[in-house]
Structures are given as C-alpha cells and as structure tokens.
Structure 1
Amino acid sequence: MTDFFADISPIRFAPEAEDDLSFRHYDPDEVVVGKRLEDHLRFSVAWWHGFAWPGGDPFGGQTFDRPWFPDRAGGDTMAAAKLKADAAFEMFAILGQPFFCFHDADIRPEGDGFAGNTANLEEMVDYIGAKMEAGGPRLLWGTANLFSHRRYMAGAATNPDPDVFAFAAATVKTCIDATHRLGGANYVLWGGREGYETLLNTDLARERQQAGRFLCMAVEYARKIGFEGAILIEPKPQEPTKHQYDYDVATVYGFLKDFGLEGEVCVNVEQGHAILAGHSFEHELALAASLGIFGSIDMNRNDYQSGWDTDQFPNDVPEVARAYYEVLRAGGFTTGGTNFDAKLRRQSLDPVDLIAAHVGAMDVCARGLKAAARMLEDGALEAARAARYAGWDGSDLLDLDLAAIAERVEEQGLNPAPVSGRQERLENIVNRYV
C-alpha cells in the first residue's frame, strides 16, 4: 500500500455532484443499445503516461515528483517498480475502469542486458498478476518499448545492425509471453522509431523486408504459444523520425497486404496520430473498419496549435461522438477498447490531477458514445447515406467494360445533373445530439 492517493475515495456516478471527482455521464451499468456502457467503452489506463512519465517536454525535463522515480528510489529499482505497481492498482481501484495497458519498460526496471530485462519482467509479471487475481482490472494489451533505449536510435525491426534486430525480436517474444500470462486481450506493436531520418543512409526496400519478417515472426510466435488475442499495429506518421513506415491506416493496410497478414493483424488507432497524419480520428476509424482491420483505439487529443504529439486527455464531445459513431458502425469493440494514451500537463503536479483527468475523460467518452448511439439508432444519417447511393442499388454497371458503358450512355442519352451533398444539413443533424 502507498499513500500517494491518500483520502481519494472511489469515483461514483453522481450527476448532480458539484465536485470534479464524480462521474456525471459515465454510469458503467447504464444500458445503451443493448449493452452496458462499461462493456461498450472498455476503458483502459495507460501505465506509461500515468506512472512512468516524468512530466518533461522537448524543452524541459522532469517536473513530477513521484516516490517510485529513480531519484527517489534509493537505488533499489525493483522495489521502486513494485511501489509504482502498488500506486497504479490503487488508482485503478479509485477509477474502477476494467482494463490497463503497459510497455515492458513501464513495469520493469532496466536490467543487465537481455537476461536482466527478462528476469525483471518476469518478476513484475508475477507481482502484477497477483494483484489482478485479487480483483484488479484486466490487461487490454501489452507491448514492447523498442524506441526509448539508445540501442534503438536507428529503429528496432528496421535497424541496420542485425544484433539490434535480434535483441528487439527476443524482447517482443518475452513481452508476448508476459501478455499471454496476464490474459491480455490484445498485443500491440508500435514502431516508435521504425522509419528514417534521412534517405542518404537508408535502404527502404531492405528495411521494409525486415519489418515484414519481424511482424510475421511475432504473429507466428503468438499463435504457437496459444495466444488468442488480436495482434495490432498502431499507425503513426512522424515524430520522432522524419517518416515512419506505419504512417496511417492506409499505409499499414498496404504493408499487411504485402506480407499476407491482413487476416491476422488489425490496427490500434490513436486520435493524436491521426491528426499528425493530416486526417481526422473518425476518418482513420472508418477506413480501418472498411478495410476489415479495426481493432482498438488510443483516446487522447493533440493541441491543434502544436505540430507534435501532445497526448492530452480528450475534452471535445462532438469529436469524440463522431469517433464512436464509426466504432459503433463497425460493430463496436470485440477484443479492443478505449485506452487513455494521455498524460497530464507538466504543470499538473498533484496526484489528484491524475484522477480528475481520467474522470473528465471518461465522462467525455460516455457523452460521446451515448450521442453516437442515439445518432445510429435514430438512423437519420444512415438514411441520408443510403439515399445518396440509391442509384447503385441493383445496378450492373461495375460488371461492364468501358465500351459497353459508353454504348449505354449513348443509347440512353445520359446527361446527369449534379445532386446536393447536403453537408451542412448533415452537420446540423449531428449537432442535435452533441
């Protein structure tokens, strides 16, 4: 036990409460289109931003003072990692969310090479597993941090040094093992430095083949050990590399098709990464669903005045509603969920800030999903969509060749007039709900 969250009671659903530590919109047992809200949203807390991040930014270092940080740990890094886990599960009990996520480096201290890392990870998996068995939340997904350590400065799977590739592959093996042992619903691969900084020293074809084989190895191993969860890739366009190979959903799909993995691997779509790619969150979700690779989401937001990944907590209900509309249209989550890949502002120093940030975000998501459910249930948008394409119903046009189509146009004297897209009216419909 710790006293980090001392005197903070479990968050309750209290719509009329005046404090900022009550849910006003998120009632986990509320039934929305036939399913409990908790089961729709499948909230998850990210271990890295909540407990490992020191509060720095590109222009300044640590601002947070956590008792498990190295400068406070007195040299016993394993004791610090267990203290961090204690605090994490205390926060989980306060929030009551059903899932959490982690990178291996978030939960275990750095060891002496691969053997030391593996031993530390296994010890922490035992420690966390006992807490889960005692009533803690489940694991939504695990992943390997293949980007922070200096060995990965030129990438992991795409590194020009085969020894780094081997170290990364072995690390992924241990992280899949850990995720499997903890009953994870998914395993995520995020290539934080899988890209290039300059083409002057980069062999694109070679690195693409390395990345493809690396992913195939991960899928093969996961299935070999009986891991039945989804394997997910998280797209990101840039930052820190000039160009990342997993740029967006469309790029990832092309990569999966190239290596025959489109039936094995799906995507974990993050709001902030969608914005960095020049898309909207709902675009990436809709595209993933249309391609059959939708899996899970990282919920956050970027500052639209900044050109980098700020990972702020969501607070824009209309944007969140449009995102969940696409999630619901895709059939909702199966193994996936809503992971808060979001961090406090570096001036938000107090432990209660971490609780309040998640409470507000969970309320925003609840409002957004309920609005999306009403939109889908009422059917106004879907009716407009169906009407727009009604002319294609029963058409054989796609079965013809160009000559036959030209002959038909000439015979029928076709001279089609444009039809209004009604965009403003459709946006007005959305505004009724949010």
Structure 2
Amino acid sequence: MTASTSFFQTPAPIAYGGAEANSPLAFRWYDKDRIIAGKRLEDHLRFAVCYWHSFCWPGSDPFGGETFLRPWQHGSDLMAMARAKADVAFELFRLLDVPFFTFHDVDAAPEGATLKESVANLNAIGDLFEQKMASAKVRLLWGTANLFSHRRYMAGAATNPDPDVFTYAAGQVRAALEVTHRLGGANYVLWGGREGYETLLNTDIGRELDQLGRFVSLVVEHKHKIGFKGPILIEPKPKEPTKHQYDFDVATCYGFLKRYDLLNDVKLNIEQNHAILAGHSFQHEIALAQALGVFGSIDINRGDDLLGWDTDQFAMNTSELALVFHEIIKGGGLATGGLNFDAKIRRQSIDPDDLIHAHVGSMDACARAFLAAADMLDAGALTGPLAERYAGWDGEEGKAILAGQRSLAALADRAMAGLDPQPRSGRQEYLESVVNRYL
C-alpha cells in the first residue's frame, strides 16, 4: 500500500438509501439528519470507530495466529507503520461518515524502550491525529491507556504488589489523558483488564482495592488540574483475562466509586459482552447504571451466549438493542458518551471492505432499534403499563411510606385492620408481544 493507493475498495462515503435500498453499502435505517425528539439521529447515536480492534487486531485467537495480514503491521519502522495505520483509520472514518473515534495509547503509537520514548511516540501520533482532525469531520469520543498487555502488568497495574508498576502506570495514564485532552476528547476511559486476582493465596484484596481507589483518585485530580471537562469512565467486566476482577459489574463499580468518593467525576462505560460474562443482560446493566446515576457510555458489540469469553462481535440483534435504547432514551440519552464499536470482524473476514460492511450493518441495526425504541416511548407502549403497575406508590399512602411518614407499627396496625391485598398479573407475555409489534 502506498500513499496513492486506497486500502479499501469502496470509493465514496456510505449514504442513506432508504428502507428499500438493495445495496449492502447503503444505510437503510440510519438517516443521520432525521430529527427524533428535536435532535438529529447522528447526535442521538454518536457512533465511534475504535482504533484497536479495527486496525490493530491481526485476526488471531488462542489457537491460531494472524489472518488479516495488514500491511501496516509488518515492517521494521514502527513509527512509519503507525502513520500508515492512521492514514487507513481516517479513511475508514471518512467512508463511514462517523462523528467519533476512540483509541488506546499503544495501539495508536508503538511502545518505546522507555516510558519517555513511548510518550514521545504517542505525542507524535497525537500531532498527526490533530492534523488529520483539522480537515476531517471525526472527533475523539475518548482515549485510554493500555495497562494490561505488557508483561509488567501481569499482576495488574494500579493493584500490582509492586508500587513501581503503579508509578509506571500513572506515567502512562498521564500521557494518554493529556493527549486525549489536547485532541478535545469528550471522555477518558480507565479499563482495568488485569485489576483483579487469580488466587487468594497471594492476594490482599483490601490493600489492592485501596490502591485502585487511590489510582482513580489521582486520575481525577489530574483531570481537574489540566482542565479536562469530560467524565472519567470505568468499564465493568467480571472476568477474562483475570478470574476475579474488581470491576465485576455495574453494582460492584457503584459500591467502589461510593466508597472512594468518586461518584461526582466517574461514570461507567458498559458493554454487552461484559454483561453476559457477569450473568446479566445488557438492558439490566444500563437500567441499573441509569438508576444509580452512573451511566456514561457504551461499547456497542455483542457476545456469544455459548462461549465463555469476550467474542466482541458487531451488534446486529435489533430486538436486544431496541430494549437497550429504550432505557437510554428514557434516561435522557448519551450526554458525553457514545456508541463505540469495540467489535472485531471475524478472523475469516479477511477482505478490507469487510470492516466497512460490519460497521454499516451494525450502524443500521442500531438505528432501526433506536427508531423502534423512540416509537415505543412516544406511544407509552412500555412506560404506560409500568406506571400503572407502580401506581399505588404514587398515591397518598405510598408517598407517605417512602417519605418516612409511617412507622413500622403504623403500617402493621393498618395491615391488621383488615388489609387484604390481592396479586395482579405482571403481564410479561403481553409486554413481550408489544415489543415485537415495533420490530
């Protein structure tokens, strides 16, 4: 591949073609300028292409090596390859006409022999990103530091038993956060892939949690020092690669943030794959994050219910996505967050344009699901029956109980006076059929 040749065969940006469009390279549902509830569909969905899976994953799995053979992954000049990778990335951003992208530090720029050299490489690629963004539509949704791949992090980064590893990780995060800030990033993510443990035989949980709490606090302090306005995002994940991870799910993360007084500055980036690994649904994790006030952003992908690891497939299940978007819209939308395609094409999808087809298909699936969710909300299809089910708590007695105006004895006396409540149907099958009408 040279500067005069294109990596992709698709010549022009993907356009909206309408529901009857037959071309696989046309959006059938994603009309970015369509106004829904006073806002453009593009501004509701806030799609982001992720740098690592799309341009760095070679197509390997635990039993086989790379299948993609990307030209920028083979050569001796690592910075030249990083620049070539950036060229292809911004070409894909243009073809998909996406508003955002995301990156890890070491996927954007190669690690050097020292942290100082690694930071210099990252700043140089940050300069390149800045130049490309000046003439492009795409903006940065978030950046993050890879604190899990290098062998120094095999026992964690912030939770490592060696304070020097903690210190090295702090240097890496400072650089990534400052580049994210310089590029106008809307958020910054802390992904703790190895913040956990394999066995309690060599682990002090209380000590490691305190270390992690201090590390996140340091990041928050530096965020304010440099004037970064976006939230810090933590991504819940229960296992893989670490057997017991400290950010297991939304509920666990909320307890952690509350204990270390981080709720004002830290929100959660939620992923369907991780919800499955934690034994939850994607909808559950988003609904709980909304209820606890910690919802931030989404990695939009899907896992395989039959496999016990992070398959990171492109999200195509409109039924599941419709319920997810129903929660998001009901909760007020994505704010500074977005839909980050933390997803990999399958290792047999070796044609360059398979990357385009994957994103187009998932963007359309998300748009179709979002429109269905918006229609359900407009009609009160689910919110109406929900309000009816809890109507008693909006009545005089229900409000008095929650306001602390009834003692246990007063409630018991009222029950003893002849109260005989009767159960009412939860109407699950009816509600499932209601959802299907909108799909």
Report the TM range for the smaller structure's normalisation. over 0.9
Partner of 1:368: 369
Identity %: 61
TM superposition outliers: structure 1 runs of 4+ over 4 Å: none
Amino acid at match of 1:244: Q
RMSD of aligned residue pairs (Cα, Å): 0.9
Deviation at 1:5, TM superposition (A): 1.2
Partner of 1:346: 347
Partner of 1:113: 114
State the Cα deviation string for residues 298-350 of structure 1 (Å, max 9, x = none).
Answer: 00001111111100001110101010111001100110011111001000001
What does residue range 27-42 of structure 1 map to in structure 2 within 5 Å?
A: 27-42=31-46
Deviation at 1:7, TM superposition (A): 4.4
Q: For 2:378 and 2:303, locate their aligned partners in 1 and report how far apart those are by CA, in whole Å.
A: 30
Q: For 2:323 and 2:268, locate their aligned partners in 1 and report how far apart those are by CA, in whole Å.
A: 19
Deviation at 1:407, TM superposition (A): 1.3
Q: Does 2:395 correspond to 1:416?
A: no
Which deviates the most, 79-88 or 418-427? 418-427
Scaled by the length of structure 2, the TM-score of the pair is 0.97
Q: For 1:168 and 1:344, locate their aligned partners in 2 and report how far apart those are by CA, in whole Å.
A: 30
Deviation at 1:380, TM superposition (A): 2.2
Deviation at 1:404, TM superposition (A): 1.9
Partner of 1:216: 217
Deviation at 1:8, TM superposition (A): 3.1
What does residue range 297-336 of structure 1 map to in structure 2 within 5 Å?
A: 297-336=298-337
Would you say the 8 A contact 1:152–1:193 is kept in 2? yes
Q: For 1:110 and 1:61, locate their aligned partners in 2 and report how far apart those are by CA, in whole Å.
A: 21
Would you say the 8 A contact 2:139–2:184 is kept in 1? yes
Q: Does 2:413 correspond to 1:407?
A: yes
Match of 2:26, SS?
A: coil
Partner of 1:429: 434
Deviation at 1:120, TM superposition (A): 0.3
Would you say the 8 A contact 1:89–1:136 is kept in 2? no
Would you say the 8 A contact 1:45–1:339 is kept in 2? yes
Q: Does 2:179 correspond to 1:174?
A: no
Which deviates the most, 388-397 or 181-190? 388-397
Would you say the 8 A contact 2:94–2:136 is kept in 1? no
Q: For 1:390 and 1:238, locate their aligned partners in 2 and report how far apart those are by CA, in whole Å.
A: 40
Amino acid at match of 2:53: H
Q: For 2:216 and 2:10, locate their aligned partners in 1 and report how far apart those are by CA, in whole Å.
A: 46
Q: For 1:237 and 1:27, locate their aligned partners in 2 and report how far apart those are by CA, in whole Å.
A: 36
State the Cα deviation string for residues 161-205 of structure 1 (Å, max 9, x = none).
Answer: 111000001111111101000000000111010000111100000
Structure 2, unaligned stretches of length 5 or more?
Answer: none
Would you say the 8 A contact 2:9–2:353 is kept in 1? no
Would you say the 8 A contact 2:52–2:107 is kept in 1? yes
Match of 2:91, SS?
A: helix
Amino acid at match of 2:72: W
Would you say the 8 A contact 1:44–1:100 is kept in 2? yes
Would you say the 8 A contact 1:56–1:346 is kept in 2? yes
State the Cα deviation string for residues 269-295 of structure 1 (Å, max 9, x = none).
Answer: 011111111101010000000001111
Q: For 2:407 and 2:165, locate their aligned partners in 1 and report how far apart those are by CA, in whole Å.
A: 52
Q: Does 2:17 correspond to 1:14?
A: yes
What does residue range 97-112 of structure 1 map to in structure 2 within 5 Å?
A: 97-112=98-113
